[in-house]
Structure 1
Amino acid sequence: MAETNTHVCDVDGLVMKRKGGGSIVSLPPVFSSDSRILYVAWGNSVRAYSTQTGSVLFEFGGISSRCSSLQLLLESDSLAACSEKGEVIFWDCSSAVIQEKRVLELPDAGKITGCHIFGREKDIFIVLWKEQQKFQQLLRFKSSCKDFDEIKVKLNNSQSSFAVGGQENSQYVGTIYKCNVYAVNLRNGKIVRLFVHSERRYTCIAAHKSDHILAVGGIDGCITIWRGFFEQGTPPRSVYHWHTLPVNAICFSETGTSLFSGGGECVMVRWLLEYQEKNFLPRMGSPISHLAVSPGNQLVAASMADNSIQLISPRLTIEKVIQNFTWNVNIGSKETHSMGINKMRFDPRTKSLVLNGLSGHLQFFSAYTNSLLYNLDVVGQNFLTQERNRTIYNTEVVHVAFSCNGNWMATVEVRKDPDFSLESRLKFWRFNEEKQNFGLNTCIESPHIGEICALEMKPGTEDFYQLMAVTSGEDEKFKIWTLMDSSTVREGKGESGEVWHCESVGVYKGLPSGDVGFSSDGSILGAAFAYTLTLWVPDANELKSSLTHPDYHQNIRKLQFGSGDCCHLTVILLPECIIVWNIFSLTMTWAVPIEVSILTADPFSSHMAVFTCSGDLIVFKPSEPQPVLIKPTLSENKILLAAFVPLTKSRSDLMQWQHKSQLYFMNEYQELLVLESQDNDSKEAGHGEAVQGNLSEKSDLNLTPFGLLLAGVKHISNVKPVIPSDYSCDGIPGKEKIDELLRMPAHTMPPLHSICYRFLTSLIKKIGNNSKDEESDAEMEEDENMDDKDSESGSENSVKHERDKSDPDKINLQDKSENCKVVRPKVESTPELEAHLQEVFNESSKWVKAL
């Protein structure tokens, strides 16, 4: 599958769209020439962020696979990007319009991990990586994009293995491979090998923008700087050392007098090379992945491992933070969630998806606004950075569950250090209406002996006596937790409140316990013990029945009760099979041999969805073995989590299984994806083609509603305007203008006398959409002299009144202004009505000017 924002999956018209997430730190960011814009690679597109506000200005699209490099060409004021499959696109920076597009003919099967465009001929240097190859290659393509020359140097299998420096006539490329450093002159092809007799392996490299200077970071935390390496003799070098962990990123300042470095210590170091001094910016929250300096040294952009970009001032203070989907640093972006939650949950209170965020945190992501709401600190511990000779383990959240309306949340956190005993805690949180956040209610240390396998909360009720949670652990037990009044527990201590406690424990024949789940109404508790499904009455903890098939003696990995018309069915996942049991008749309904990695159910319909180990998506109803939808090889990337999210309103234009809910799923790049109809594939920012427009126009997006009113800025919309009828008036006139005024804080309002006149005149309805502002001003000037002409107008109107009596169905009242006519609906005319209307039109409007 091509890594695109929108990808056509099959002939059924469904497309896969990216709704959120994804990496903004996969490549070093690039500043604009005036430092006002930061260009960031986001999957197969490039986003332009404002360095002043941190918001997205516009987006560059047109690439069908992921970006592998990003470069600003100052001589042509264009932005260039290269994809992993060899697409090179040049955009105009001010309009995001594609100027030129090239396609490189890559040798064999390879993936581009880096690219640089050189010279006015736009020769292209690429770093090519091939599978099962221990090093990368450096190739130079001519402008024809067909012929290429291979430069005989090897590179590490990392994105930070090469750097380009020097001025236009003396540019060079620096590369690293294990303990070796190479410098390649791009003009004459001369290759210089810089070598130190040591076992120091290099991790990243940076090149000076004007001089022949290379800075190389090592795995031991040292930074080595070489100068004048193209000259005769041994080039001088110097070593700078502060980092204890491997150096991840280094970057020269614009003038080259300073050097910035960062690594796993979560600290950025600024080195003053001439004086060998260093300054620090500590406690940045997560390890540093990339560094970039703006022109004029105005800002430093630090790409962090938690998928954020911090903009740092020359005073080493954090000015802005650009945050996308938050990543767990310990889990990593492309590792399995063995230490993360195994289910993507839906919070019914905030209508958001809940999954792992920062280390020890949960992040709440709104699926309706496609925005990150907040991160909740569950663990309450400082993030521990790694050490050079040992691995430091942080406490991580592995399970989360919510009550039916989101008033209660249960979490399980674990710290697995092989050198110490296991730490696990079960916490219950209650939502605080005043603080609008979850507050810790109960904390249970080591609720099970060993790890906790599953956590679920009883659906369908929020009654005090019906609230219930169940956990299962490696101690071959499941435990039922209920809420009780703490005054009955702490008698004589003067304490009262609600706390959770273990009410009962369930075991079955000494078999290991596994997944647990409640039926849709909460009346049945299902617990997996090895290859047996047991059914219990949770209120009494009474075993009702056990289900085992003689042909399927594999441990149950996952169980899920059906809902709606399939509430009597239970779906069981085995390592190589799906089984459906009827809990009424206690018989197996059907079984299909298939390897499934994820199973999720729609609580608002009877449909379920599974993702196979090969990347297939299958949507089905437990009552029917025939699937509703099959998407073979939906994604080449591994799907980690999935969940159904209810729609704000039912949609009949989608497939039947999507009428009430939408399926969200997240791949190994932590991109949040959905399947939608191809007909409704709108060109949204981040999900379609580039947003085009002038940068100066986009800066006007920060205008307040008062600024829009006074400046006369018109909103541009793709919605077709509704032409008002002469015979009807729907809605309240001026409601939109009034709403704009009321939405603004009072302390930001300009003086009332400066806006009242224009505001009131904007509420006057005129005929025709082409009336000019000058005509409106002329009307108001004539209205100033209205009182002087009252007697004359009265005589004229009396003549009109006599004439209109002959045709009672027509009312033709004329304003004092000859350029503005007022059209009235055809109503039954009476002398009283005409007299009243004439009085209204003859009233003076000087009071408007006086205001």
Structure 2
Amino acid sequence: MGVKRQTDTNLTKYVLNRKAGRSIIERRPVFSPDGESLAIIVENIVRVYNIQTGDCVRTLESETPINELVAIEFPENEDYNLYGCSDCGCVITWTWEKGAVLREAKLQLPKDAKVLTFNLIDSNECFITAMEPANTQLYTASYSVRSGALNYEFATTRPLYYDIVRVSMGWCNGDRFAAVTNGTKVLFIQNMYKPHMRTQIVNHNKFRILSVSAHHRESAIAITDTIGRVTIITGNLYDYRTVAREVLHWHFLPPFAICFSVIGNYLFSGGMEKVLVKWTLGHLANKANEKAYIPRLPGMIRYITVNSSNIAITLSNNSVVIASAQMRVVSTILECGGISAASRARSWLVYHRPLDALLLPGRTGHLQLYSTATDKVLYNIDITEMNNLPSERRNLLPLETEVACAAVSADGSWLVTSEYRNDGINYPEEKLKFWSAQSKNTTPFKLNTCVNLSHGGCNVVSLALSNKGEFCVSAGLDQKFRIWRREKSSQTHRKKIIWSCLTACYYSSGIAHFLANPVLNNFKTGDVSLGKTEDSPYLKDVDEEDIIKKVFNLHKERTGFSRVEDDVFRKHDGDMGGVAISHDGSLIAAWFGSKLTLWDTHLCNLRTTLSHPALRPKGKHVMFGNNDAAHYLVCTTENCVAVWSLLSLTIKWLVQLKPMWLAGDPFSNKMAVITDNNDLFVFRPQSSEPILTRKNIVDPQTGVFTQCAFGAPIGDKVRLYIVRNDAEIFCLEPENSKAHGLEVMSRRNLPLSNFSALLAEQHLSEVQPAVPVSGQALNMESLGNTAISQFLSGAPHMVPPVAMMCTSFLQHLSGYEEIEEPQDEEDKEMEVDPQSSDDEDSSTPTLIGKHTPKATELWTPNYDNVKEKRLKKILNKPLLDLHTTGTLFGL
């Protein structure tokens, strides 16, 4: 059994480990034959999760390096092999019981073709659709999964490629067929054994078809369209004129997923309403047209997979919900990520030390609490406590209230969050909330104080908390920062801790935002829909900016988007940037445009203003140093990192780069900055020479790192968590730290013989490798005493004859010493154990004299203090006590 670990061989001291945030919703999952596990594709590997606990129990990977897997599937009537296909056409067969790679075959695809879908016809053949670089039509063909040879190329069935391709395999007239939809109004039916038998079924009313599912036994298929209808088509599917249609209509928005039950008595559908619908089909007379629901799911439904007892629902928030056949949620498989697209533009990351967890944005209105110890999402904290706004057909992406900013005190006792919504029509919704940490509760934080319109309806851009959570500073687009203090309010029967605003500070007038934005002064009237509206033509036609495609791939959005942007205020000289509180809580640093200001915390007045031509046009982050660097102030702009000395009010050093984020360790003097080309620098404010540098740690084309935070250190070493714009979490930590690994099943796990099955793959041994003598400081005296004690501790009849003992050993027992020339350094006297001396006397033969021939010695003992005493004992006392010996042997 191997252990998969991700290490970087180019790094000698630190390694960059990919912790969490991979997408588990790109492909459709499958249930295991026993129904106890769920296999999910995660890029180029397959994770196997337990249904009841939601834990990952093992991981399957290929022997040949691949980019990503496009599909996995168990063949019908077989329960011992799992088949998968990569985008390059590599078909892998795993044995499910052992999890080892049984076979790998390369499909004979056209040059540079990329596989889009993979479906098994049986255990020997598969049907694939692929995209060729120079062709806008899909390539459809059947291949042998054992040899990779081409069986049939369906040249007449080549639909256009529109990024939404769904395929389902079914039965019609005893033959296997494939139903293919490409996101248009046409459904393509192709016989697998008779290439000439094919048809095209056009959806009535010309609405676009989004998903398709074929019945497992009967000649029937179910499709969903953009207007929300579910249509069941039965009959001879190769003749579109004779088919029968049954329309089921509950969905108001486009459904992205549909699936028949195993027996075929039920049909499951779901989409943008975040509701799973279970339809009872018409041939069950007692329950015809009956529906069951699982409402209020945390994301849009992308895929639905069923077996005889469970339902797997893949959601857009990077999670898979497992439900029973009775429509009750059993467990949830949740991975980091699933960040709402609107919050990606203003993302942040904070580390909570008591919980050893990261707080980062989650789905709409939520925070994710990711445990760095277990690499799991512990909580989804509902910050806004609001229902999701329903979508409309002309506005599929409504503007919802998002968490704009968050901060945690150094001791982890308080959390402060800001939420914001501005549709450009109604007055902006803006709240500042203070949360107290809970040690013994079902949730880690409890709401303490909620301040509505804390900045008059302007968005909060930065938050800072003191180390012990005594006061907070919030900066907003109203060009002011406000100081909030924790107080005790006396009520009738109890004392309660609340937060109140102490004062508001501004550098200029602080009213430019209100003068320029009429939304903050009066309400607009008119027949305008909230947010960004989409026209209805997407229901029937496919254009270049397809809103259906955008919604379906919303989880891939990296840059984020916002509906109402106040660009005019971003160019103003008085725009607020980052704020910070000093380690002792006496100073507040705040950016006002390109001017860095210092304020007294207790008097709430301006102490000084720091400016420099290199800090133009606008500051971004600011942070005070800690410990021995408390008299330094580190700040960043769009083009540089600068360190100010608070003693002389001058710049100590400045480095020109393009920083993305500045982070500091609240318990040490270390800081870190990441740049737009994924360079990482860890430094101390005292010196411009970094203590740790990593250039281009990840290719910027795959994603740009946007935030970082210091984790719990390992001694004096650094542990830094970094988040990419696709919500993936990386950790830069020492290479000798304990890394978390998942069990990997591959061909290497197969035993070579019956005997090798009894042996462990990894052997542990106490034998240490040989080390040169010059590299060790050996204590020869202690080693010699230990060896002699072990030799003489045995029974007398177990001691070897005298004739077989080596000369040097006997010389050591007799106290022989070679006369040597005096040396500069005197040898230390060897300590003699009196008890061991008695044992030696009883075992020393009387035949040994002083004039024994000289032998080669490994080392020379020194017995100056006991030499004469030992020789007298040897000469005066007999070797054996005849009386004692006779008594023992009965003589």
Q: Which of residues 642, 645, 654 is equivalent to 2:707? A: 642
What are the residue-to-residue correspondences of 1:370-385 with 2, within 5 Å? 370-385=375-390
- Structure 1 residues 346-399: Cα deviation after superposition (integer angstroms, max 9, x where no partner): 112212111223432322221012222223332222334423333444332222
Give the letter aligned to residue 379 of structure 1. T
- Structure 1 residues 440-473: Cα deviation after superposition (integer angstroms, max 9, x where no partner): 22111111023333343443446xxxx1100011
Between stretches 189-198 and 120-129, larger displacement belongs to 120-129
376 and 200 in structure 1: CA distance in 2 versus 1, 3 angstrom threshold: same
Q: Offset at 1:609? A: 3.3
Instruction: Kindly indicate whether residue 111 of structure 2 is the aligned counterpart of residue 47 of structure 1.
Output: no
Instruction: Give the conservation status (yes or no) of the 8 Å contact 2:271–2:302.
Output: no
* Counterparts of 1:135 and 1:422, CA distance in 2: 47
Corresponding residue for residue 887 of structure 2: none
Q: 1:216 is paired with a residue of what secondary structure? A: strand
- Structure 1 residues 779-809: Cα deviation after superposition (integer angstroms, max 9, x where no partner): xxxxxxxxxxxxxxxxxxxxxxxxxxx9999
What are the residue-to-residue correspondences of 1:160-175 with 2, within 5 Å? 161-166=166-171, 169-175=175-181
Q: 1:198 is paired with a residue of what secondary structure? A: helix
Instruction: Give the conservation status (yes or no) of the 8 Å contact 1:517–1:526.
Output: yes
Q: Offset at 1:31? A: 1.0
16 and 67 in structure 1: CA distance in 2 versus 1, 3 angstrom threshold: farther
Between stretches 440-449 and 65-74, larger displacement belongs to 65-74
Instruction: Kindly indicate whether residue 268 of structure 2 is the aligned counterpart of residue 260 of structure 1.
Output: yes
* Counterparts of 1:113 and 1:51, CA distance in 2: 28
Q: 1:6 is paired with a residue of what secondary structure? A: coil
Instruction: Give the conservation status (yes or no) of the 8 Å contact 2:267–2:280.
Output: yes
Q: Which of residues 91, 98, 120 is equivalent to 1:88? A: 91
Q: Which of residues 169, 172, 182 is equivalent to 1:176? A: 182
- Structure 1 residues 45-95: Cα deviation after superposition (integer angstroms, max 9, x where no partner): 212122344333222123543332222235472222233454432211111
Instruction: Give the conservation status (yes or no) of the 8 Å contact 1:25–1:289.
Output: no
420 and 88 in structure 1: CA distance in 2 versus 1, 3 angstrom threshold: farther
Instruction: Kindly indicate whether residue 718 of structure 2 is the aligned counterpart of residue 661 of structure 1.
Output: yes
Identical-residue share of aligned pairs (%): 26
Q: 2:74 is paired with a residue of what secondary structure? A: strand
* Counterparts of 2:272 and 2:385, CA distance in 1: 21
Between stretches 139-148 and 538-547, larger displacement belongs to 139-148
268 and 540 in structure 1: CA distance in 2 versus 1, 3 angstrom threshold: same
Corresponding residue for residue 294 of structure 2: 282
521 and 158 in structure 1: CA distance in 2 versus 1, 3 angstrom threshold: farther
Q: Which of residues 570, 588, 602 is equivalent to 1:539? A: 602
Corresponding residue for residue 732 of structure 1: none
Give the letter aligned to residue 74 of structure 2. L
242 and 126 in structure 1: CA distance in 2 versus 1, 3 angstrom threshold: same
- Structure 1 residues 278-330: Cα deviation after superposition (integer angstroms, max 9, x where no partner): 312232422442444444x22221122233322222222223333333634xx
Q: 1:325 is paired with a residue of what secondary structure? A: coil
Q: 2:327 is paired with a residue of what secondary structure? A: coil
Q: Offset at 1:722? A: 8.0
* Counterparts of 1:140 and 1:374, CA distance in 2: 45
* Counterparts of 1:613 and 1:107, CA distance in 2: 38
* Counterparts of 1:107 and 1:605, CA distance in 2: 58
Corresponding residue for residue 101 of structure 2: 98
Instruction: Kindly indicate whether residue 344 of structure 2 is the aligned counterpart of residue 337 of structure 1.
Output: yes
Q: Offset at 1:683? A: 7.2
What are the residue-to-residue correspondences of 1:89-488 with 2, within 5 Å? 89-103=92-106, 112-123=115-126, 125-128=128-131, 137-138=139-140, 149=153, 151=155, 152-154=157-159, 157-158=162-163, 161-166=166-171, 169-190=175-196, 191-196=198-203, 198-227=205-234, 228-231=236-239, 233-275=241-283, 277-295=289-307, 297-325=308-336, 327-328=338-339, 331-332=340-341, 337-338=344-345, 342-390=347-395, 391-435=397-441, 437-461=444-468, 467-487=470-490
* Counterparts of 1:10 and 1:298, CA distance in 2: 48
197 and 7 in structure 1: CA distance in 2 versus 1, 3 angstrom threshold: farther
Q: 2:248 is paired with a residue of what secondary structure? A: strand
Give the letter aligned to residue 647 of structure 1. A
Corresponding residue for residue 631 of structure 1: 695
Q: 2:504 is paired with a residue of what secondary structure? A: strand
Q: Offset at 1:529? A: 0.6
100 and 622 in structure 1: CA distance in 2 versus 1, 3 angstrom threshold: farther
Give the letter aligned to residue 509 of structure 1. S
Q: 1:337 is paired with a residue of what secondary structure? A: helix
- Structure 1 residues 727-774: Cα deviation after superposition (integer angstroms, max 9, x where no partner): xxxxxxxxxxxxxxxxxxxxxxxxxxxxxxxxxxxxxxxxxxxxxxxx
175 and 473 in structure 1: CA distance in 2 versus 1, 3 angstrom threshold: same
- Structure 1 residues 228-263: Cα deviation after superposition (integer angstroms, max 9, x where no partner): 221474533332211001101100112223211011
Between stretches 147-156 and 661-670, larger displacement belongs to 147-156
13 and 409 in structure 1: CA distance in 2 versus 1, 3 angstrom threshold: closer
Instruction: Kindly indicate whether residue 505 of structure 2 is the aligned counterpart of residue 506 of structure 1.
Output: yes
Between stretches 286-295 and 517-526, larger displacement belongs to 286-295
Instruction: Give the conservation status (yes or no) of the 8 Å contact 1:215–1:225.
Output: yes
Q: 2:708 is paired with a residue of what secondary structure? A: strand
Instruction: Give the conservation status (yes or no) of the 8 Å contact 1:604–1:661.
Output: no
Q: 1:116 is paired with a residue of what secondary structure? A: strand
Q: Offset at 1:9? A: 6.9
Q: Offset at 1:522? A: 3.2
* Counterparts of 2:153 and 2:128, CA distance in 1: 9
Q: Offset at 1:172? A: 2.1
Give the letter aligned to residue 29 of structure 1. P
Q: 1:661 is paired with a residue of what secondary structure? A: coil
- Structure 1 residues 15-59: Cα deviation after superposition (integer angstroms, max 9, x where no partner): 432323323222221012222221112233212122344333222
Instruction: Kindly indicate whether residue 589 of structure 2 is the aligned counterpart of residue 526 of structure 1.
Output: yes
* Counterparts of 1:252 and 1:638, CA distance in 2: 38
* Counterparts of 2:90 and 2:740, CA distance in 1: 22
Give the letter aligned to residue 499 of structure 1. I
* Counterparts of 1:536 and 1:72, CA distance in 2: 66
Corresponding residue for residue 883 of structure 2: none
178 and 616 in structure 1: CA distance in 2 versus 1, 3 angstrom threshold: farther
Number of equivalent positions: 681
192 and 593 in structure 1: CA distance in 2 versus 1, 3 angstrom threshold: farther
Q: 1:285 is paired with a residue of what secondary structure? A: coil
* Counterparts of 2:113 and 2:740, CA distance in 1: 32
Give the letter aligned to residue 724 of structure 2. N
615 and 185 in structure 1: CA distance in 2 versus 1, 3 angstrom threshold: farther
What is the alpha-carbon root mean square deviation over aligned residues? 3.7
* Counterparts of 1:599 and 1:110, CA distance in 2: 43
Instruction: Kindly indicate whether residue 730 of structure 2 is the aligned counterpart of residue 673 of structure 1.
Output: yes
* Counterparts of 1:691 and 1:573, CA distance in 2: 51
* Counterparts of 1:680 and 1:484, CA distance in 2: 43
Give the letter aligned to residue 409 of structure 1. L
* Counterparts of 2:132 and 2:323, CA distance in 1: 33
Q: Offset at 1:599? A: 2.9
Instruction: Give the conservation status (yes or no) of the 8 Å contact 2:231–2:248.
Output: yes
Give the letter aligned to residue 219 of structure 1. T
Instruction: Give the conservation status (yes or no) of the 8 Å contact 2:22–2:337.
Output: no
